A and B are shown apart, each in its own frame.
Chain A
Amino acid sequence: MQDSLKSSSYQQLEQKSKYTNMFLRWFLYFILILFASYFIFPLYVMVVTSLKTMEEIRQGTLLSWPNGLNLESWAVAWGGRGYGAGDTFLRPYFWNSIKMVVPAVFFSTFIGAMTGYVLTKWRFKGDQWVFLFLLFGCFIPFQAILLPMARTLGVLGISNSVIGLVLVHTVYGIPFTTLFFRNYYISVPTELVKAARIDGAGFFKIFFKILLPISAPIIVVTVIWQFTQIWNDFLFGSTFSFGEAAPIQVALNNMVLSSTSVKEYNVDMASAIIAGIPTLIVYVLAGKYFIRGLTSGAVKG
């Protein structure tokens, strides 16, 4: 009763300011669309530029529509022109990135799931400190570990190789994956685990039978987060690899910076889109999980 009274007086109030509201709403949409165009602008420019010939680029403006679907610059960006030296193109580096991302995501996610499991369901004295110890790894500026890492990879004989990058990305992914799984498992009732322990279930059985089956959402969040981070990494890629072992972001940067011939902006843009498309697809398909990772991981850099 009280409630309905309240909401009716609320409605009256809404009625009174109907006209101000209408104006406000138009203003609202105007601002929102204005910002949307600011955010979409670079992507639009990338796509149309990649579809133009250099002649069209010189004659038109940034926004002008391409004359036709000209996919030549895409073909050049992906597979090159077919002559030998100096012909850089993205295909081999794209595969380097795949070979680097898949194992690194797998290992870091697996280790994170295990540590998250122990930290929440097999608590021990000082586990809070262990968590903090791992968590700080999310934040260190990687410049502070580059020099020792370069030496270590050299000593291990895996500098300038995909394996070296897998190791680097696995290790520095652990703090994030641990954070994700720990925060997820902490909301799983511990009684479930206790009951299973009384029934005689062991450490791994509890994990695989009880926790893993309900972990799908957090696995998706973690895999997407790690995939995006590792695919987009440039610092490690450019420091620990060069030439043929480079991942795609490094190759893209080299391609864009190389000033051997006339600048071909259409090929540059096609290359940039190719390097960005895997993460963009994941984002469009699984945006919800991506945002969840972003707001709970809440660190990027």
Chain B
Amino acid sequence: MFKWLEKNLPKIVMAPAVGLIGWFVYGFVLWTLYISFTNSKILPKYELWGFGQYEKLWASRKWLIAVDNLLIFTALFLIFCVVIGIILAIFLDQKIRAEGLLRTIYLYPMALSFIVTGTAWKWILNPTLGIQKMFRDWGFENFTFDWLVDREMAIYTIVIAGVWQSAGFVMALFLAGLRSVEDEIVKAAKIDGASLFTVYWKILLPMMRPVFFTSFVILVHISIKSYDLIVALTQGGPGISTTMPALYMTQTAFHKSQVGLSAASAMMMFMAVAAVIIPYLYSELRRENAR
């Protein structure tokens, strides 16, 4: 008995973690999947109902707006975060004075919650007292910046705040990547007459392929899950113009009590994330095994 215990102790110690994750992650995802195939409203119903909720979901105008917004947001969020992140990383890599201070400034938004920063941005972007008023007081009387209350433009305010929060993170990833490249490579290229621009464009950035890949995966992942920022900044408004899937899911479940429909939207989000993450994990693991 004691021998058995000793031999299996590592597995016994592992058991709680595996059990908890097995139940609370995998079990719950399957549970949600099951709900999505039922006609549950406020109370759960357990008889299967087929793909009805998914049909309802993709016929819903609000969901289509949410998906549309997600695509717009993801594309812009990705482009701006990566471009700003790379520029900052390359510039910081030039033996800059006060590099530590600048890095701290670029990255501090990551330490704050989206609710905190959303509150700040909401105040800055509000037309009556925010940026618009500031420019008008400075003498630009026709200056208008009311995206926050404009149906067409409100989604871009979420991009502004989102990029502000996450660009520093991409900077940190690229800076770490650039720092891991041997100095000799850069020196050799310079002796061969390559300009600084060529060194980065032709040699260093192509070497950063894995960093691009990691940033891509993480940023897409953040954007699919984005919820807090929208709640703090627009609550999905004006109207429903800035709804995104995560917001759709909670509103449908907890305000509209359409539990089955909400589960279907959650499963769509799950599949979107899985489509990005599984290839990523696979390639990471292969790289690790190759080492």
**Does A28 belong to the interface (CB within 8 Å)?**
yes
For B163, the closest partner residue in chain A by CB is A38
- A294 and B169 within 8 A (CB): yes
A300 to B225, CA, bound (A): 10
A117 to B134, CA, bound (A): 56
- A174 and B17 within 8 A (CB): yes
Q: What is the minimal beta-carbon distance from B266 to any residue of chain A, in angstroms? A: 4
For B278, the closest partner residue in chain A by CB is A136
A280 to B116, CA, bound (A): 11
- B104 and A275 within 8 A (CB): no
- B129 and A232 within 8 A (CB): no
Q: What is the minimal beta-carbon distance from B4 to any residue of chain A, in angstroms? A: 14
**Does B51 belong to the interface (CB within 8 Å)?**
no
A268 to B122, CA, bound (A): 11
Where the two chains meet, the residues of A that have a C-beta atom closer than 8 Å to any C-beta of B are: 6-7, 9-10, 13, 24-25, 28-29, 31-32, 35-36, 38-43, 45-46, 49, 57-58, 61-63, 111-112, 114-115, 117-119, 122, 124, 128, 130, 132-137, 139-149, 151, 171-172, 174-175, 178, 202-203, 228, 231-235, 238-239, 249, 252-253, 256-257, 265, 268-269, 271-273, 275-276, 279-280, 282-284, 287, 290-291, 294-295, 298-301
Given contacts A139-B273, A279-B112, contact A144 B266 (CB under 8 A): yes
- A298 and B269 within 8 A (CB): no
- Chain B positions within 8 Å of A280 at CB level: 108, 111-112
- A61 and B24 within 8 A (CB): no
- Chain A positions within 8 Å of B35 at CB level: 147-148
- Chain B positions within 8 Å of A111 at CB level: 16-17
A10 to B270, CA, bound (A): 53
- B29 and A62 within 8 A (CB): no
Question: Would you list the 4 A-B pairs with minimal beta carbon distance, nearest first?
Answer: A232-B113, A122-B10, A283-B111, A145-B28
- Beta-carbon contacts of B33-46 to A below 8 Å, as 1s and 0s? 00100000000100
For A265, the closest partner residue in chain B by CB is B123
The secondary-structure label for the interface of chain B is: helix
Q: What is the minimal beta-carbon distance from B208 to any residue of chain A, in angstroms? A: 14
Q: Can you sample 17 A-B contacts with CB below 8 Å?
A: A9-B191, A32-B91, A32-B102, A35-B88, A36-B102, A41-B124, A42-B120, A42-B121, A135-B281, A139-B281, A140-B25, A145-B29, A147-B32, A178-B17, A268-B123, A294-B110, A295-B176
A283 to B119, CA, bound (A): 20
- B119 and A256 within 8 A (CB): yes
- Chain B positions within 8 Å of A36 at CB level: 102, 105-106
Q: What is the minimal beta-carbon distance from B228 to any residue of chain A, in angstroms? A: 4
- Chain A positions within 8 Å of B113 at CB level: 231-234, 249, 275-276, 279
Q: What is the minimal beta-carbon distance from A253 to any residue of chain B, in angstroms? A: 5
**Does B168 belong to the interface (CB within 8 Å)?**
yes
- A235 and B227 within 8 A (CB): yes
Q: What is the minimal beta-carbon distance from B157 to any residue of chain A, in angstroms? A: 13
A272 to B245, CA, bound (A): 26
- Which one of A58, A134, A139, A235 lies within 8 Å of B17 (CB-CB)? A134
- Chain B positions within 8 Å of A145 at CB level: 24-25, 28-29, 32
- Chain A positions within 8 Å of B17 at CB level: 111-112, 114-115, 134, 174, 178
Q: How large is the interface on B (under 10, 10 to 19, 20 to 34, 35 or more residues)?
A: 35 or more
A94 to B128, CA, bound (A): 31
- A299 and B218 within 8 A (CB): yes
- B172 and A234 within 8 A (CB): no
Residue picked from A39, A43, A257, most chain B C-beta under 10 Å? A39
A26 to B105, CA, bound (A): 20
- A299 and B105 within 8 A (CB): no
- A301 and B225 within 8 A (CB): yes
Q: What is the minimal beta-carbon distance from A196 to any residue of chain B, in angstroms? A: 14
Q: What is the minimal beta-carbon distance from A57 to any residue of chain B, in angstroms? A: 6
Residue picked from A38, A144, A300, most chain B C-beta under 10 Å? A144
A31 to B87, CA, bound (A): 9
Given contacts A252-B116, A298-B214, A301-B222, contact A146 B137 (CB under 8 A): no
**Does B173 belong to the interface (CB within 8 Å)?**
yes
- A39 and B21 within 8 A (CB): no
- A43 and B94 within 8 A (CB): no
- Chain A positions within 8 Å of B250 at CB level: 143, 146, 235, 239
